[in-house]
A and B are shown apart, each in its own frame.
Chain A
Amino acid sequence: MSNNSILVVGGGFAGITAALEAAEVGHEVFIIEKNPYLGGRVAQLNQYFPKLCPPTCGLEIQFQRIRNNPLVKVRTMAELVSISGTPGNYIATVKIVPRYVNEKCTACGECEKAASTTMENEFEFGLCSRKAVYKPHVHAFPMRYVLDAVRCDKAELAKIKAACPYDAIDLDDQEKIIEIPVGSVVMATGWKPYDVKKLTNLGGGHIKNVITNMQLERLAAPAGPTEGKILRPSDKKAPKKIAFVQCAGSRDENHLNYCSYICCMASLKHAAYIRARDAEAEVVIYYIDLRTPGRYENFKNRILADSKLKLVKGKVAEIVEDHHNRDVVVTVEDAVTGIKSREHFDLVVLATGMQPSVAGQKLGLKVPQDEQGFIIGGEESGFIPSGCAKMPLDVMKSAQTGTGAALRAIQSVSGR
């Protein structure tokens, strides 16, 4: 008798969609998510395609569906260790990292006030810091704090525990290994922004006013480090001249040897963020080829109608800092006019691409990956890739692959 349950690895948009679609036709589904919250990369965006909704818009509905469906079981801070068994009868071994905060937490924030240790905020891509005990982000689901207990000393931990009025801090919480019997596995492990430190000629990581497109999303987000004001990191001033560098690491055999699909659209969207906030700001997008899939062409035409937005064909290949005012100097050849010039900008945004989260990792599963780390098969043994684990996609297409993956997973467990 084969197992009817489905494991979804990754609680981003694709994973949530796959889980809900399968659960709503009667399958028991387990979502395991590495982060302390669901929603994945979408949760970090200011607005997402195709309709430029804020992430809460789509995610809230999904979370509601999860809450209302007892067949969906969510484990956050959970990592897949291994999978044993045969197709239709798998045992997934999952490691649960201790959160040190139990379900009594109301996210009142008293513990955070008591904590003193601070560290880089990963959710904000290092644009600000956070306390050792923190709410992952403003719309986190589950809405519960997380404690980085290993980063604090005993006295601070005691102070944090004492500060909680609901007895929600559980310092005895321990790492757990659980086993989940499932019939098939949806791999929705998602993507990570390509490491800009590798883009040395573009000043990645070492020039203060060179940021990534995902960092710009956070700057534009109302709940982000600047409360939605786009300010450059060095002096917190609103930039007047902004450049976007397309294909920063994408379509490049020295970095990511493929097109990341959505960065062109993202930069057009970012230009719109900037122009909506500042009528004076000038934006230049340096591109090789502009990719506007399907109906996004209309979006492009709308954005490009703005006279303060300029498109230049030519890849920026050298970025240095002007040490006097911390402006950014980019060197680029306009491939249409054939003129190589050095241009000064207040802020430069690198349109870094998507890298599969599992790139460079040995999965230890029977799933084939291409040399870039994308999962490109495994359906025959009940492993169904979905979302950006499969290929670079936008949110809409990610959701579509999630639905597709649910169907494949159902077929996989029912057909045996």
Chain B
Amino acid sequence: MSNAVRVQPDLKFVKELQEVGGESLKKCYQCATCSVVCPLSPADDPYPRKEMVWAQWGLKDRLVNDIDIWLCHNCGTCSDLCPRGAKPGDLLAALRNMAYRKLAQPSIIGTWMSSSKFLPILIAIPAAIYLLIWVARAATLGTAFPLFDAAGKVVATGGRVWYGGLFPGDFTIDPIFSLLFLFVVFTFYKGCASLMQSFKSLPKTFVVGRTKEPCFCKCVVDTIKNEVAVHSRFKECGQEEETQSRVKGHLLVFYAFLALMVVTGTVAGAHWGGFVLHKMGLDGVFLTILHAFGDTPLSLFNPVKLLANAGAVALLIGLTLLTKRRMGLDNAKQGSSFYDWYLLGMIWTVALTGVMSELLRLVCWPGMAYPMYFFHLVAVFMLIGYLPWSKLGHLVYRTAALAYARKIGRIPMI
């Protein structure tokens, strides 16, 4: 055996993998049913059989540099038909979880995000920040549950609930979330850089008729336009009815978030734009228009508010579909990890506290409205701030990986 390869197993890595959702991987006997039944797996070096053997052998290098884990959208067909119950789908999900845990720095957050036992720490950070603000503002305003008149003065009775009064956007919301946003963008940048670095070892596929590799930007555009926006490969992933409800649910949640992002962007842009215009002394019609979109709370008939509420409804419907599907999964075939439940739970919390905050404000129950808004702030902070270490990180990592896969010819440009 002159060309024998000595396998250097990383047993710790295998154990780690089993912890983050790949516990059945040792049952695999390499029959390759999974690679065949996968509706997305390509003809050359199909997944997930090869990942199963790498995982069993503890070939960490191969697995952490593997782009194919991002090509899988986890319909679970491979696990359904697996003759050993080795759950290859869960292994790929576990590898993605591992990526969420390891790709972004500081890695301590990755550790905290990997298990429910660290949840209190994750909650405590934003809760402490906003509780401190709440206490400070309560001392200033003289009450923790203030009611405001039209001019923004605290009144004893007959006023309205105004979240911006207790937590002024200019000082307590926008700066904190802007910093958080920048932190997340920077973290993603670093994370993607190390993801791309890890793909460097991958072989390039020779594509017939292609003279040179397309540039990465082109690949990103193609990925977003033809794949992310329309969920093209996700739609092909799995044929059964439940899988299709997953596509519907995911699309709804995706576009709901997009709508809510547009709303947030518009409100923030109008608000700060108005501020700048005012400072520059450019008062006029334009500024009035900006005020209409930048001063919260918005009227219920404001088009931006309509979009926000439509987004909230879409989010709830999408979440219901996704949660129902996940709860209906046969655990003998496809498991759900902490990453799955964390994300679903987080989005549910954001959506429900958001909707409840709006309703409680409208019915003017300050004793419940302000705590609800507080929870909403904490939840949004957690969703955004820990994004690179959560399953939602796939939004960026998967997009980057799919673009890279196009560049090297692993999947075709559309």
Contacts and interface: CB of A to CB of B under 8 A. Distances in A.
Contacts of A367: none
Given A247-B83, A316-B36, A338 B29 contact: no
Interface string B26-45: 00011111111100011111
B46 interface: yes
Contacts of A254: 81, 83
Nearest to B53: A335
A184 B43 CA distance: 59
- Most chain A CB atoms below 10 A, which of B30, B33, B34: B33
Given A253-B85, A338-B50, A315 B43 contact: no
Interface residues on B, range: 20 to 34
Contacts of B84: 251-253
Given A332-B32, A338-B50, A317 B81 contact: yes
Contact of B37 (A252, A288, A317): A317
Contact of A253 (B37, B44, B83): B83
Contact of A340 (B29, B31, B35, B81): B35
B32 A317 contact: yes
Nearest to B42: A340
A82 interface: no
A289 interface: yes
Contacts of A340: 35-36, 41-44, 46
A274 B42 CA distance: 34
Contacts of A79: none
B49 interface: yes
Nearest to A251: B83
Interface string A292-336: 000000000000000000000011111000000000000111110
A315 B36 CA distance: 9
Contacts of B50: 338
Contacts of B33: 315, 317
Contact of A335 (B30, B42, B81, B83): B30
B397 to A, nearest CB: 25
A86 interface: no
A11 to B, nearest CB: 34
B46 A333 contact: yes
Given A254-B81, A335-B49, A314 B32 contact: yes
A172 to B, nearest CB: 52
A414 interface: no
A391 B43 CA distance: 38
A339 B36 contact: no
Contacts, number: 64
Interface residues on A, range: 20 to 34
Contact of B44 (A201, A316, A339): A339
A114 to B, nearest CB: 50
A291 to B, nearest CB: 12
A289 B36 contact: no
Interface in A233-291: 247, 251-255, 288-289
Contacts of B43: 339-341
Nearest to A318: B36
A340 B33 CA distance: 11
- Most chain A CB atoms below 10 A, which of B36, B42, B44, B85: B36
Contact of A252 (B41, B44, B49, B83): B83
A255 B81 CA distance: 10
Nearest to A249: B83
Contacts of A253: 83-85
A76 to B, nearest CB: 38
A199 to B, nearest CB: 11
A341 B45 CA distance: 11
A314 B30 CA distance: 8
Contact of B36 (A252, A288, A332, A338): A332
Nearest to A335: B32
Contact of B45 (A247, A289, A332, A338): A338
Nearest to B46: A340
A56 to B, nearest CB: 37
Contacts of A201: 37, 81
Given A253-B84, A253-B85, A254-B81, A315 B32 contact: yes
Nearest to B34: A317
B29 A317 contact: no
Interface string B374-392: 0000000000000000000
A333 B83 contact: no
B81 A338 contact: no
A369 B348 CA distance: 48
Nearest to B33: A317
B24 to A, nearest CB: 11
A374 B264 CA distance: 65
B31 A288 contact: yes
Interface in A4-47: none
Interface string B44-59: 1110011000000000
Contacts of A338: 44-46, 50
Contacts of B29: 251, 288-289
Contacts of B42: 340
A331 B35 CA distance: 10
Contacts of B49: 333, 335
A70 B83 CA distance: 49
A229 B172 CA distance: 86
- Most chain B CB atoms below 10 A, which of A247, A318, A331, A335: A335
Interface string B344-367: 000000000000000000000000
Nearest to B41: A340
Interface string A185-196: 000000000000
B36 A331 contact: yes
A289 B30 CA distance: 9
Contacts of B45: 338-339
A317 B81 CA distance: 9
- Most chain B CB atoms below 10 A, which of A252, A314, A315, A318: A315
Interface in B202-224: none
Contacts of A255: 83
Contacts of A317: 32-34, 36-37, 81
A204 B125 CA distance: 58
B63 to A, nearest CB: 15
B74 to A, nearest CB: 18
- Most chain B CB atoms below 10 A, which of A253, A315, A333, A340: A333
Interface of B: 29-37, 41-46, 49-50, 81, 83-85
17 contacts: A201-B37, A201-B81, A247-B31, A288-B29, A289-B29, A317-B32, A317-B34, A332-B32, A333-B32, A335-B31, A338-B46, A338-B50, A339-B45, A340-B35, A340-B43, A340-B44, A341-B43
Interface of A: 201, 247, 251-255, 288-289, 314-318, 331-335, 338-341
The 8 A-B residue pairs whose C-beta atoms are closest, nearest first, are A252-B83, A317-B36, A315-B31, A333-B32, A317-B33, A333-B35, A288-B31, A340-B46
